[in-house]
Amino acid sequence: MQPVGAAAPLKVDIREKTFRSAEGVTLVALEGLSFEVRQGEFACLFGPSGCGKTTTLRILMGLDRQFSGKVQLPEGGSNRVAAVFQEPVLLPWRTVEQNVRLALPRNMRDADLGHLFDLLGLSGLEALYPSELSLGLARRAALARAFAIEPALLFLDEPFASLDEPTADRLRHLLMRVWSARPTTALMVTHNLREALLLADRIVVLSPRPAHVAGIFDVCISRHSRDAQALDDLVSEFRMRFPDEV
Amino acid sequence: MTAGFGSGKPAGANRPERRGWLFLRRGLPLVTALASLLGLCLLWQVAAGIWPSRAFPPPVDVWRVLTRDAANGELAYHLAMTLWRVAAAYAGAMVVGSVIGVLLGMHRRADMFFNPWLVLFLNLPALVVIVLAYIWWGLTEAAAVGAVAINKIPNVVVTMREGARALDARFTEMASVYRLTPLDQVRHVLIPQLQPYFAAASRSGIALIWKIVLVVELLGRSNGVGFQIYLYFQLFDVAAILAYSLAFVAIMLLIEIFLVQPFERHATRWRRRPA
């Protein structure tokens, strides 16, 4: 139980989510999946490929309402939600800056974004169209859009998928820098264990389908000291606790 | 411009050459088109000389009618009347057709129900619509413009429905997560995706509409290019018929070159530069 006053901004309690295929076969994707993400925490949803991580995220983002159970998102004040999708999903007919500003609520449209663009290495690229950016830069723009709205909750759906490893690694560190500058309650979906161990405060480990929480793994070392050696230790510690996870 | 050649910078030296090349590339189609039209005129002149007939006047006669009616204001008046009918029918058909098309493309059940209606209207001959419109609403301007619009709407609906079916769900989901206002969704997400379909509908639309407008004018109006053509048909004045039709074709061409094409270039500017 959480102490009073530290209400978790995100409470998930999904009883069941089923898919019905075109041939009428039902497939139980999620069953009895419940967890919380605490205020200011960076949590990762980790599990084998195809176990329903993205399905869970879609439910949380309000894109899929066909499920039984309850999801509690932040209420009152700034209850804005931001998302970084598997693909950048930038509007190709708007410039980088227009794409970011468009996500801002009306009263923040004129906000100064210079610092954020600077932090993400996008300075000078504001007037370009997404088709003129590399995939890595487009993802930075997607991150800029997510952080610009100062969300109460940030969802990331494998935001570094289909990038080459050095680029992905640079972006992970960039993400950490922006996140430290603007701490935000965040939930990231990933099937990359090292990525999860590098970024997260807590890892919610999912079971194979139908997905439920197999366990929680707290990453207790501070982010600065998570170098290659520390990550190796974390990986073996993780494997000891969850021998079934790939 | 020779200034650039003297400087040592390669970028500066390149520029005049590139500008000349660009001019050539842009100018060449224009020169070719003009030469081609001139050739057609010459052929026409020669043919009219070989078989002289009142039904087949040489281009010089047509030009004479054109200058005469341009001088006394007749030409401008009738062109303007036809042009405003084209514009009104076009605007009406595009707005109504786009709204219906997008709604049908987004709602599968409505589409299934209304599809037979659409097929019916698609295959209704223009003449039938025009005659019925004049019978039901009288020989009025509204009936004329309305009849033309109704002829065009089904085509717009079909094209825009395809566009709405091809909408990218990822953008819709992004807009929903970031809570874009309905106005922003229409302006920044919906319309840019539909733009190519809108352009296609509008191109085929203008060509179709101005031809139907002439029929409408012929049947129930007392001005406009269609009316003039009908008048000169009764007088058997082929030169005047040709003068009015060619003048209107020229106007539609100018609209295409100076209005439609620049607008399309602007709307698709984000595509033009390679990554």
Chain B interface test: which of A57, A80, A93 (most B C-beta within 10 Å): A93
Which of A83, A98, A102 is the closest to B177 by Cβ? Answer: A83
Q: Is residue A111 part of a domain?
A: yes
Chain A interface test: which of B171, B172, B178, B181 (most A C-beta within 10 Å): B178
| pLDDT > 50? residue B8 | no
Span B45-71, average pLDDT: 90
Q: What is the mean pLDDT of chain B?
A: 87
Instruction: Output B12 or A126, whichever has higher pLDDT.
Output: A126
Q: Residue B18 — very low, low, confident or very high, per pLDDT cuts 50/70/90? A: low
Q: What is the pLDDT of residue B52?
A: 84
| pLDDT > 70? residue B73 | yes
Using a CB-CB cut-off of 8 Å, the residues of chain A touching B173 are: 61, 63, 85, 89
Residue B130's φ and ψ, nearest 5 degrees, are -65, -50
Query: ipTM, 2 decimals?
Result: 0.85
Closest CA to B226 of B51, B89, B42, B58: B89
| pLDDT > 90? residue B112 | yes
Q: What is the pLDDT of residue B11?
A: 44
DSSP conformation letters of B107-164? -HHHHHHHHHHHHHHHHS-HHHHHHHHHHHH-S-HHHHHHHHHHHHHHHHHHHHHHHH
Distance CA A178, CA A144 (A): 9
Chain B interface test: which of A86, A89, A155 (most B C-beta within 10 Å): A89
β-sheet bridge partners, residue A34: A13
CB contact under 8 A, B174 and A106: no
Closest CA to B206 of B118, B80, B83: B83
pLDDT per residue as tens digits for the range A119-140: 888 888 989 999 888 888 999 9
Q: What is the pLDDT of residue A142?
A: 93
Range of the domain at A230: 41-241
Span B142-163, average pLDDT: 94
Domain B59-272 has CATH 1.10.3720.10: yes
Smallest CA–CA separation between B166 and chain A, in Å? 15
Q: What is the pLDDT of residue B94?
A: 94
Q: What is the pLDDT of residue A7?
A: 64
Residue A111's φ and ψ, nearest 5 degrees, are -55, 150
DSSP state of B54: T
Q: Residue B23 — very low, low, confident or very high, per pLDDT cuts 50/70/90? A: low
Whether A75 contacts A97, CB under 8 Å:
no
Closest CA to A191 of A176, A179, A203: A203
Q: What is the pLDDT of residue A64?
A: 87
Q: Residue B273 — very low, low, confident or very high, per pLDDT cuts 50/70/90? A: low
Instruction: Output B159 or A75, whichever has higher pLDDT.
Output: B159
Using a CB-CB cut-off of 8 Å, the residues of chain A touching B189 are: 91
Closest CA to B83 of B220, B218, B203, B223: B223
Span A9-28, average pLDDT: 84
Span B176-193, average pLDDT: 91
Query: Which residues lie closer than 8 Å to B145 by C-beta, 6 or more apart?
Result: B85, B88, B89, B92
Q: Residue B144 — very low, low, confident or very high, per pLDDT cuts 50/70/90? A: very high
pLDDT per residue as tens digits for the range A28-87: 888 888 898 988 889 999 988 778 888 898 899 888 888 888 888 877 667 888 999 989
Span B55-82, average pLDDT: 92
Q: Is residue A148 part of a domain?
A: yes
Q: Residue A5 — very low, low, confident or very high, per pLDDT cuts 50/70/90? A: very low
Distance CA A76, CA A14 (A): 23
| pLDDT > 60? residue A246 | no
Span B53-81, average pLDDT: 91
Q: What is the pLDDT of residue B1?
A: 39
* Percent of chain A whose predicted confidence (pLDDT) is above 70: 96
Query: Which residues lie closer than 8 Å to A201 by C-beta, 6 or more apart?
Result: A41, A42, A43, A218, A219
Span B22-44, average pLDDT: 83
Which of B174, B179, B275 is the closest to A89 by Cβ? Answer: B174
Q: What is the pLDDT of residue B20?
A: 65
Smallest CA–CA separation between A155 and chain B, in Å? 10
CATH number at residue A96: 3.40.50.300
Whether A130 contacts A141, CB under 8 Å:
yes
| pLDDT > 50? residue B178 | yes
Distance CA A16, CA A54 (A): 15
Distance CA A63, CA A181 (A): 29
* Percent of chain B whose predicted confidence (pLDDT) is above 90: 65
DSSP conformation letters of chain A? -PPTT---SEEEEEEEEEEE-TTS-EEEEEEEEEEEE-TT-EEEEE--TTSSHHHHHHHHTTS----EEEEE---SSS--EEEE-SS----TTS-HHHHHHHHS-GGGTT---HHHHHHTT-TT-TTS-GGGS-HHHHHHHHHHHHHHT--SEEEEESTTTTS-HHHHHHHHHHHHHHHHHS---EEEEES-HHHHHHH-SEEEEEPSSSB-EEEEEE--S-GGG--HHHHHHHHHHHHHH-TT--
Distance of CA A99 to the CA centre of its chain: 20
Q: What is the pLDDT of residue A173?
A: 87
Read off the tokens for A79: 């209850």
Q: Is B234 helix (H, G, I), strand (E, B) or coil?
A: helix
Instruction: Output B128 or B16, whichever has higher pLDDT.
Output: B128
Asked if A61 reaches chain B (Cβ–Cβ under 8 Å), the answer is yes
Which of B178, B179, B273 is the closest to A132 by Cβ? Answer: B273
Q: Residue B275 — very low, low, confident or very high, per pLDDT cuts 50/70/90? A: very low
Which of A91, A131, A155 is the closest to B275 by Cβ? Answer: A131
Q: What is the pLDDT of residue B193?
A: 92
Query: Which residues lie closer than 8 Å to A182 by C-beta, 6 or more apart?
Result: A147, A150
Which of B173, B188, B275 is the closest to A63 by Cβ? Answer: B173
Provide the pairing of β-strand A213-218 with A10-20: unpaired
Instruction: Output B18 or A105, whichever has higher pLDDT.
Output: A105
Span A89-102, average pLDDT: 92
Instruction: Output B233 or A74, whichever has higher pLDDT.
Output: B233
Distance CA A40, CA A152 (A): 9
Print the SS3 string covering B83-103: HHHHHHHHHHHHHHHHHHHHH
Span B151-179, average pLDDT: 93
DSSP state of B7: S
Span B150-173, average pLDDT: 93
Residue B76's φ and ψ, nearest 5 degrees, are -60, -45
Q: What is the pLDDT of residue A171?
A: 87
Smallest CA–CA separation between A8 and chain B, in Å? 20
Chain B residue with Cα closest to A134: B275
Q: What is the pLDDT of residue A2?
A: 41
Q: What is the pLDDT of residue B5?
A: 41
| pLDDT > 70? residue B162 | yes
pLDDT per residue as tens digits for the range A209-218: 888 888 888 8
Which of A82, A105, A132 is the closest to B275 by Cβ? Answer: A132
Q: Is residue A22 part of a domain?
A: no
Using a CB-CB cut-off of 8 Å, the residues of chain A touching B196 are: none
| pLDDT > 50? residue B262 | yes
Q: What is the pLDDT of residue B7?
A: 41
Q: Is residue A190 part of a domain?
A: yes
Asked if B180 reaches chain A (Cβ–Cβ under 8 Å), the answer is yes
E-assigned strands of chain B? Answer: none
Using a CB-CB cut-off of 8 Å, the residues of chain B touching A91 are: 171, 188-189, 192
Q: How many domains does chain A have?
A: 1
